[in-house]
Amino acid sequence: MILSDIIAQQLVNGLVLGSVYALAALGYTMIFGVIKLLNFAHGDIYMVGGFVGFMILSAISSLVGEGWIGIFCAMFLSMLAVGCFGVLIERLAYHPMLSAPRLSILITALAVSLVLQNAVLALTGGEHTAFRTDLGFDGVELGTLFITYNQIILVASAAALMIALEVFVAHTRYGRAMRAVAVDKDMCRLMGINVETIIGVTFFIGSALAAAAGTMAGAYYGSIWYFMGFLIGIKAFTAAVIGGIGSIPGAMLGGLMLGLLEAFGTQIPGIGSEWKDVFSFSVLILVLVFKPTGILGKSEQERM
Amino acid sequence: MRKGWSEFTKKFLIAAVAALAPCSVAWADDSILIGVQVPQTGSSAVRGFSMANAAAIAAQEINAEGGVLGRKIKMMIADAACDPQAAVNAASKLAARHDVVGVIGGYCSGATLPTLKVYGRADIPFVITASNSTKLIPANPGNAVMINSTGDAHAAKVVKFLKKKRAHTLAIVNEGDAFSQDLGDLTAKDWKQEGNDVVAFETVNKGEQDYSAIVTMIKSAKPDAVWWTAYYADGALLIRQLRQAGYRGIIVVCDGSISDKLFDIAGGAAEGVFGISAPIAELLPKAAQFVRTYKAKYKSAPGSFAALTYDGMQLMAWAIDKAGSTDPDAIIKALASVNGQEWLTGPIVFTKDKTLARSNFIVVEGKGGHWVSVGE
Amino acid sequence: MATALRRAGHLVLRFSRGPCSPFMRRAGVAIILAFMALAPFVLHSYGIVILTNALLYIILALGLNIVVGYAGLLDLGYAAFFAVGAYTVGILTLNFTVDFWLTLPVAVFNAALAGVIIGGPTLRLRSDYLAIVTLGFGEIVRLCARNLSITGKATGLTGIEQPWIFGWHIDTPRDFYYVFCVLTVMAVIVSTRLAKSRLGRAWLYVRHDEDVAEAMGINRTTVKLQAYVIGAIFASIGGAFFAVNLGAISPQSFSFSQSVIILMAVILGGMGKIPGVILGALIVILGPELLRDIGQLRLLVFAIGLLAIMLFRPGGIWPGRI
C-alpha cells in the first residue's frame, strides 16, 4: 500500500472508532453537565445496550432480517429500553446521593458499574456472545484504500444521532432547560423548571446514545462481552475530558480525536503498537496542560 | 444511626475472624482431597469451568473403580481468577488445609506462577494441566509437573508448519499478557533463526474490538502468514477484520484460540484458518468416550484443556497409588517417574525440568465451523 | 440497682458514640495491637496471608487518603506509585543484586519523583480533569511496565529474593505478617500526625477553597505537591514489601482496577478519618474472601453489598468530620 493510502485508511479507521467513542462520550458529558457526576457506570450502559440490542435483534430477525434495517430497528428499541433503564438507575442509585459528598456518589457509580458487569457475567458465564448479523462486506475501492459500506453506514448513523442531539439541545424547550440546569440548578428551580424531570431526560438521552453505540458496535464488530463496557467507559471518559467535559460539541470532537489518535498511534514510525495507549494518554495530558478545561471546555469563572 | 456503624463493624469483624480461623472441621469421612486451581471468575472463567468439569468426570470415574488407596477422591476448587494475588490467596487457602494431598490445574500462567511457591513451601504436589509459559520452569520449586507442552514447543511447531507452507515473512500479533507475549517472542526468535523476516510484531489490548489499525498495518506489510498468539475472543475479531480488509495469506492461531467459539464469532472468515492446538478431546482417538460423557453431563462441548485436566486428575491418582501413601515426596517421585502408561492425551514422560518430554501440539484447520486435524 | 443499670446504660451509650476518653481510646488501641500480635497463633496460614494482604491495602488506602481525603485531589492512578516501589525493588535486587534495605531509599526517592512528575501537570486542573490525568499516568506506568524488558515485559519480574534483617530471614507468611503489622502501625502514626500538623490544616483549607487558602498565604502548589509525594511514598513502601512478599510482580497488579479498589477502600469506610479508611480497606479485601464459598456469584453479591452500603451510609460507614 502506498503511504497516502495507508494514511487515508487509518483516517477511515479512526473515524469509525471515533464515532463510537463520540456517542459514548456524549452521554458521559451530558450527565456530568447536569449533576456533576463522573458516571463510571456509563460504559456498562453501553454494554447493556449492546446485549439488549442483540436480544431484540434475535427476537425480531424473522420480521426485519439481520441486515442494517434489522439492526436499526433493534437499535431504536434498545435505545428506548436502555434509556428507561438509565433513568431507573438514576432514580434508585444517584438521586438519593445528590446531597452526599461528591466522592461518595462516585463510588456509588462504581458500585453500579460492578453490579451491572457481574450481573451480565453471571448471565453469560463470561463467554463472548457472537452478535450474528447479515452484513455483507462489500465496499468502495479507491486504489488500495478500501472502505466498506458498513463503515459508511456506521459513521453516518452516528453523525445523524449527533446532529439530532444538537438540534434537540439547541432548539427545543427541554434542550434549553438541560443547558440551563447545567449552568445553575438552583436558579432553574426558582424559574419554575422541574430539575428532576430534566435530569431524568438527560439520563434517558445519554443512556439511549450509549445503547445506540453499543448495539451498532456489537453488530459491526460481531461480538459482545460483559467486560466491554469497562474499556469503552475509560475511552468515553477520556474523550469527554479532552473535548471539555460538560460540552456536547466537545464530546463529539474528543471522541473523534481519540479515535484518530488511536488509529495513527498504532503506526508511529519507530514506536510499536504496544505504545499506542501511552501515545493517546500523553497527548491527552499535553492538551490539558495547555488547555486545562479541555479543547472546547469553558473556563470556569468562580464568583466570590 | 450512629450506633448502626458500630453494630455493623462488630458483626463484620466477627465474621472475618470466623472465616479466617482454622477449620477445625476436617472432612468427617476418609476421602482424599485434591485441589483444583482454575479461574472461576473473570474473563477466563469459561476455561476454568470446563477444566473443573473434566476433573470432576475423572474423579467420578476413579471413585467408581474403587478410588485411590481404597479411599474416595474429593475435589476442592480454588478460584485463581487469572490474577496473581487472588491465585495466591486461593492457593494459600488450599495449602493451609492439612488434608490436601495434591493440586491439579493452573490456566493463566501469570496467576499460576506465584502459586508455585505456595505449594512448594507446603510441600504439595502440583500437576499443572494448562499453564505452559516457559517462565514457570525456573520458578518450579520441584513439586510441580507440567503436562502441557511449553511455549518453546509451541513456537517450534508453528515455525515448522509455516516452513512447510513455504512462508518467509511473518506478522506476529499478541495481546500483551504473559503467555501471548512470551509465545510471540519465542516464535520471533525461532523464525529469525531460520533466516526469515518478522515484518510486523504487534500488540493489541484484550477486549478492544477494533483492530482496523493493526489490520491496515499488516496489510501494508504483506506477510505470507499472520500468527495470533492469544485467545479466541479477540482472535476471532482479528481474523474477521483481516479477511474483510482483503488479507488473503495464511492465518495461524495458537492453542489459546482453539475453541468452537472462534467460528461462532468469526463466521465464515475462519474457514481455512490453521491452529496449533493442545490435544483437544474431540480429535483424540482415545477420548471419544470422554467427549460423550462430558457432553451428556454438561450439555456443552469440552474445552480445549479438558482432556489435559482429565489426564491431570488421572495422573495424580495414579501417582498416589504408585506412592502407596499420601506422603508428598513419594507422590512427587512417582509423578516424575511416570513412563509407559496410557493417557487420553498420549504418552506422558517428563524431562528433568518436569516438563513434557515430547511436544503434544497438533496442527488443526478450521473447516465447516469445526477444527479438524491436519496431522503432526 | 436502678442507678447501677442507668450508669451502665450511660456507659454503653457513651462508648457507642465512639471512644471519647483518652483511656478508652488507648484501651481500644491496645486490644487491637494485642489481637494483631496474637493473630498468627490463632489463624492458620491462609488467614495470615489474607490479613497480610489486608494490611497492605490499609497502608495503600492510608496513603491515598492523604491525597484524596486530606488534600481533596481525586487521584485515579494511585497504583502507579505502588508500581514504582515494587519495580524499583525488583529491578535493583534482580539485575544489580542490591540489598533490599538499600533499595528502599531508592524506591522512596523514585516515588517522590513520580509524585512530582504526576502531580505537576495537575496543579492547574479542576478535580475532574485531574482525575483523568492521574488515570492517564496510571495507565502509562502500567504500559511501560508491560512493554519494557527491564521490567520483565508482560510476565513481570520473578524470583525476587526475600530480605534478611539482623540475621533473620523474612520468608514465611508469618514473618511478612509481622513486617506488615509494623508498617501499618507506622502508617497510622504518620497519618495521624499529618492530619494534626500545619500541613494537614493547610490541606484542609486547600480542599475547601483553594483561592481563599491562597489568600491566607498557603502556597497551594507546594501543598498539593507535598500531598502527592507523601501519598506516593506510602504506596511505594507498600509496593516494595509487596514485591518481596509475593516474590513475583507483573503489570496485572498495577492496573486501573487496582487504583479503583484502593479508592473504594478510602471512600467506603469514610474518607478523612483513619479508622474509617482502615475499615474500608478491610471490607474491600476481606469481603470477596468471606464470600469465596458462594462461588461464582460472589463478586455480584459483593457489588450489591457495596451499593447498599453507599446508599444507606452515603458518608461512608464511618465518616470523619467534614
Nearest-angstrom CA–CA distance, C94 and C158: 9
Buried b (16+ CB within 10 A) or exposed e, C250-285: bbbbbbbebbbbbbbbbbbbbbbbbbbbbbbbbbbb
**The pLDDT of residue B267:** 86
**The pLDDT of residue A187:** 87
- Answer whether residue A149 shows pLDDT above 80: yes
Reported ipTM: 0.89
Angstroms from A210 CA to nearest CA on chain C = 20
CB pairs under 8 A between A and B: 98
Q: Which chains touch A (3 or more CB pairs under 8 A)?
A: B, C
Nearest neighbour of B40 by CB, restricted to C46, C246, C296: C296
Q: Which residue has the cell 503498537?
A: A273
Quick count: other Cβ atoms within 10 Å of Cβ B195? 7
**The pLDDT of residue C224:** 92
In chain A, which residues have their Cβ closer than 8 Å to the Cβ of C296? 122
Query: How many Å separate Cα A159 from the centre of its chain?
Result: 13
- A94-148: pLDDT as tens digits: 998 888 877 888 889 989 999 999 899 888 877 889 998 888 778 888 877 888 8
30-69 in chain B: CB under 8 A from chain A: 41-46, 49
- Answer whether residue B168 shows pLDDT above 70: yes
**Chain B residue closest to A2 (CA)?**
B220
Q: What is the pTM of this model?
A: 0.88
**Chain A residue closest to C256 (CA)?**
A234
Share of chain C above pLDDT 90, in %: 42
Buried b (16+ CB within 10 A) or exposed e, A256-278: bbbbbbbbbbbbeeeeebbbbbb
User: Residue C58: beta bridge partners?
Assistant: none
Continuous segment of H or E residues that includes residue A139? strand A139-142
Angstroms from B332 CA to nearest CA on chain A = 35
| CB proximity list for C217: less than 8 A, separation 6 or greater | none
Quick count: other Cβ atoms within 10 Å of Cβ A188? 19
Query: Could you tell me where the beta strands, DSSP code E, fall in B31-99?
Result: 32-38, 73-79
User: What's the pLDDT band for C321 if we cut at 50, 70, 90?
Assistant: very low
Nearest alpha carbon to residue C78 among C276, C257, C298: C257
Inter-CA distances, B36 with A88, B146, B280, C139, C295, Å: 41, 15, 20, 33, 14
Residue A212 near residue A71, CB atoms below 8 Å: no
227-286 in chain B: CB under 8 A from chain A: 233, 236-237, 240, 244-246, 261, 264-267
User: What's the pLDDT band for B21 if we cut at 50, 70, 90?
Assistant: low
Angstroms from C149 CA to nearest CA on chain A = 13
- Answer whether residue C309 shows pLDDT above 80: yes
Nearest neighbour of C154 by CB, restricted to B88, B122, B176: B176
**Chain B residue closest to A126 (CA)?**
B43
User: What's the pLDDT band for C13 if we cut at 50, 70, 90?
Assistant: low
pLDDT, average across residues A213-218: 94
Residue type at B13? L
User: What's the pLDDT band for B357 if we cut at 50, 70, 90?
Assistant: confident
**Chain A residue closest to B42 (CA)?**
A126
A interface test, pick of B265, B271, B299, B300 with most A CB neighbours within 10 Å: B265
pLDDT, average across residues B211-236: 93
Quick count: other Cβ atoms within 10 Å of Cβ A54? 23
- Answer whether residue C9 shows pLDDT above 60: no
A interface test, pick of C214, C258, C307 with most A CB neighbours within 10 Å: C307
Share of chain B above pLDDT 70, in %: 92
CB-based contact (8 Å) between A13 and chain B? yes
- Answer whether residue A90 shows pLDDT above 80: yes
Nearest-angstrom CA–CA distance, B240 and A148: 13
**Chain C residue closest to A302 (CA)?**
C211
Collapsing DSSP to helix, strand or coil, A39 comes out as coil
- Answer whether residue C231 shows pLDDT above 90: yes
Nearest alpha carbon to residue C133 among A292, B171, A202, A253: A292
At B172, list the grid cell.
506476529
CB contact under 8 A, A221 and B244: no
Nearest neighbour of C317 by CB, restricted to B5, B177, B181: B5
**The pLDDT of residue C8:** 53
DSSP annotation of C321: P
Most confident of A71-75, A136-140, B27-31, C120-124: A71-75
Residue type at B301? A
CB contact under 8 A, A266 and B209: no
**Chain B residue closest to C286 (CA)?**
B16
Nearest neighbour of C140 by CB, restricted to A97, A282, A302: A282
Listed range (B89-93, B100-104, C76-80, C209-213) with the worst mean pLDDT? C209-213
In chain C, which residues have their Cβ closer than 8 Å to the Cβ of B22? 42-44, 47
Burial of A123 (0-12, 13-18, 19+ CB in 10 A): exposed
Nearest neighbour of A38 by CB, restricted to C131, C140, C306: C131
| CB proximity list for C109: less than 8 A, separation 6 or greater | none
Q: Which chains touch C (3 or more CB pairs under 8 A)?
A: A, B
CB-based contact (8 Å) between B357 and chain A? no
Nearest neighbour of B89 by CB, restricted to C49, C247, C299: C49
Residue C195 has φ and ψ, to the nearest 5°, of -60, -35
C interface test, pick of B14, B75, B92, B119 with most C CB neighbours within 10 Å: B92
**The pLDDT of residue B34:** 94
194-213 in chain C: CB under 8 A from chain B: none
Angstroms from C265 CA to nearest CA on chain A = 10
Nearest-angstrom CA–CA distance, B253 and B239: 10
CA atoms C213, C216, C221, C223: torsion sign: negative
Residue B277 near residue B304, CB atoms below 8 Å: yes
- Answer whether residue A273 shows pLDDT above 80: yes
Listed range (B122-126, C67-71, C171-175) with the worst mean pLDDT? C171-175
In chain B, which residues have their Cβ closer than 8 Å to the Cβ of A262? 213
In chain C, which residues have their Cβ closer than 8 Å to the Cβ of B40? 295-296
**The pLDDT of residue A186:** 85
Angstroms from A71 CA to nearest CA on chain C = 31
In chain C, which residues have their Cβ closer than 8 Å to the Cβ of A111? 303, 306-307, 310
Listed range (A239-243, C24-28, C103-107) with the worst mean pLDDT? C24-28
Angstroms from B109 CA to nearest CA on chain A = 19
Quick count: other Cβ atoms within 10 Å of Cβ B318? 19
User: What's the pLDDT band for C3 if we cut at 50, 70, 90?
Assistant: low
CB-based contact (8 Å) between A227 and chain B? yes
Torsion angle in degrees (nearest 10) through CA of C81, C85, C90, C93: 160
In chain C, which residues have their Cβ closer than 8 Å to the Cβ of B183? none
Nearest neighbour of C42 by CB, restricted to B21, B93, B185: B21
Nearest neighbour of B96 by CB, restricted to C16, C46, C283: C46
Nearest-angstrom CA–CA distance, A118 and A227: 9
User: What's the pLDDT band for B56 if we cut at 50, 70, 90?
Assistant: very high
Share of chain B above pLDDT 90, in %: 56
- Answer whether residue B24 shows pLDDT above 90: no
- C109-151: pLDDT as tens digits: 999 999 999 988 888 887 778 888 999 999 999 999 999 999 9
Nearest-angstrom CA–CA distance, C147 and A172: 50
User: What's the pLDDT band for B33 if we cut at 50, 70, 90?
Assistant: very high
User: What's the pLDDT band for B7 if we cut at 50, 70, 90?
Assistant: low
CB contact under 8 A, B89 and C17: no
**The pLDDT of residue C294:** 74
Nearest neighbour of C153 by CB, restricted to B21, B122, B181: B181
User: What's the pLDDT band for B6 if we cut at 50, 70, 90?
Assistant: low
Angstroms from B376 CA to nearest CA on chain C = 30
Side-chain half-sphere exposure of A217, counting CA atoms within 13 A: 32
- Answer whether residue C18 shows pLDDT above 70: no
Query: What is the DSSP code string of B194-206?
Result: TT-EEEEEEE--T
Collapsing DSSP to helix, strand or coil, A147 comes out as strand
Nearest-angstrom CA–CA distance, A215 and A52: 8
- Answer whether residue A10 shows pLDDT above 80: yes
Residue C76 has φ and ψ, to the nearest 5°, of -100, 10
- B148-162: pLDDT as tens digits: 988 889 999 999 999
Nearest alpha carbon to residue C270 among C259, C257, C282, C258: C282
In degrees, rounded to 5, the angle at the alpha carbon of residue C245 between the alpha carbons of residues C242 and C248 is 80
Nearest-angstrom CA–CA distance, B268 and B102: 44
CB-based contact (8 Å) between A231 and chain B? yes
CB contact under 8 A, C248 and B178: no
In chain C, which residues have their Cβ closer than 8 Å to the Cβ of A300? 126
In chain B, which residues have their Cβ closer than 8 Å to the Cβ of A274? 176, 202-203
pLDDT, average across residues A5-19: 92
- C64-99: pLDDT as tens digits: 999 998 998 999 999 999 999 999 999 999 999 888
- B264-314: pLDDT as tens digits: 999 889 999 999 988 888 888 888 899 999 999 998 888 889 999 999 999
**Chain B residue closest to C316 (CA)?**
B5
Residue B167 near residue B213, CB atoms below 8 Å: no
Q: Where are the alpha helices (DSSP H) in A36-148?
A: 42-64, 68-89, 102-124
CB contact under 8 A, A284 and C132: yes
Q: Which residue has the cell 438552583?
A: A186
Continuous segment of H or E residues that includes residue B302? none
What is the number of residues in chain C?
322
pLDDT, average across residues A201-219: 95
Continuous segment of H or E residues that includes residue A138? none
Residue C64 near residue C231, CB atoms below 8 Å: yes
Collapsing DSSP to helix, strand or coil, B104 comes out as strand
A interface test, pick of C75, C140, C260, C304 with most A CB neighbours within 10 Å: C140
